[in-house]
Amino acid sequence: MKVVDLSKILAGPYVTMSLADLGADVIKVEHPDGGDPTRAWGPPFNGPDATYYLATNRSKRSVTLDLKSAAGQEAVHRMLADADVMVENFRPGSSLARLFNYQELSARYPQLVILHISAFGDTGPLRDEPGYDMVAQASAGLMSLTGEPDGPPVKAGYAMGDLGAALFGLIGVTSALVERERTGHGQYVSTSLYESQLALHVNWATGYFATGERPTRLGSGHPSLVPYQAYPAADGHFVIAVGNDGLFRTLSTALGHPEWADDPRFATNRARVTHRTALNAKLQAVLVDAPVAHWVDLLKPLGVPAAAIRTLDEVYDCPQTAALDMVQKVDHPDVGPLEQVAFPVTFRGAR
């Protein structure tokens, strides 16, 4: 499968890198004036390029073309003649969007699946507005849900707008390729950072639709489960995730307070959510007296989900990460082998 990647930044390049991981021949087209802007998004750098760029552009062939020049456009059309997929994130209404529009491309290359990723979608009053990940997180409500109750809105640690659009875009492309097997024709596939964030609201959205109440920030807490958050221990924080009343009874007994499970305020999850503050105060009073390892080692054998909050150095030193073979080396022509996070799906047990 041949993929022509006209996208830049994160969402589009993540789609095409994923397709490359799955075996596609991906040709990344970059502008001669510096290429993809993420090449300069550092530090850190590894060789001439920022590690941000390296994170989403492995396993691709690269070519430099000025898409606004006749020669550059002709070169792209030669690539599209036998391509299966084209990915772009041109700003709606831009000259490049007009030059490489689906109507003309589909007439010339009926086999072609075209993925367009935008900030706000193809229709509506915001369709022509540009936007980066943080704009999507803000405008689609994610930042209103992230952070401490009395603190300011907080950006998620990952680029959820870009990555959400990338994953939904990848689903769209693979679905269109399956449909092409039946019809013989490609099609236009579109998603946006905004749409992907709305789709990821999931229970937040259904809760709002049912009640009409504006959700508030809960820190690490869960709107519908208690206890299900980070708690302070003597030497740091860890998480407890109690998803049913049986687990809460086990937790209560393990902490030396079996009576909590029979307290009407805490006996059911519905009651615990109502009395979240009172229960958390009791839990914190107990948990702060011992270190994280003590509580995790106590609770996990009992089947109560609990985990230390790891830093990235701890994550990549973890035996589970190694066992999954999630860190692999990729050869780079300028800087040699690079460690990268692998595609997170196995096929018949292999990556």
Q: What is the pLDDT of residues 80-99, one digit of tens each?
A: 999 999 999 999 889 999 99
**Catalytic one of 36, 162, 235, 331:** 162
User: Which residue is associated with the tokens 């397709």?
Assistant: 19
- The H helix count followed by the E strand count for the chain is 16, 13
The dihedral region occupied by 256, where left means phi > 0, alpha psi between -120 and 50, and beta the remainder, is left
Residue type at position 249: R
pTM (2 decimals)? 0.95
* Residue 324 pLDDT: 97
Cis peptide before 149 (omega within 30 of 0): no
Sites in the chain below the pLDDT cut of 50:
none
C-alpha distances in Å from residue 79, one per residue of 16, 69, 138, 155:
15, 16, 38, 39
Q: What is the pLDDT of residue 334?
A: 87
The domain segmentation of the chain, as residue ranges, is 2-200, 228-309
Is residue 287 a contact partner of residue 293, using CB atoms and an 8 Å limit? no
Instruction: Confirm whether 82 is a catalytic residue.
Output: no
Kindly state the greatest CA–CA separation across the chain: 77
Q: Mind listing the pLDDT tens digit for each residue in 271-313?
A: 999 999 999 999 999 999 999 999 999 999 999 999 999 999 9
Q: Cα torsion for 21, 22, 23, 28, to the nearest 10°?
A: -50
Q: How confident is the prediction for the chain on average, in pLDDT?
A: 98
Superfamily for the 228-309 domain: formyl-coa transferase, domain 3 (3.30.1540.10)
Q: Which CATH superfamily is domain 2-200 in?
A: Crotonobetainyl-coa:carnitine coa-transferase; domain 1 (3.40.50.10540)
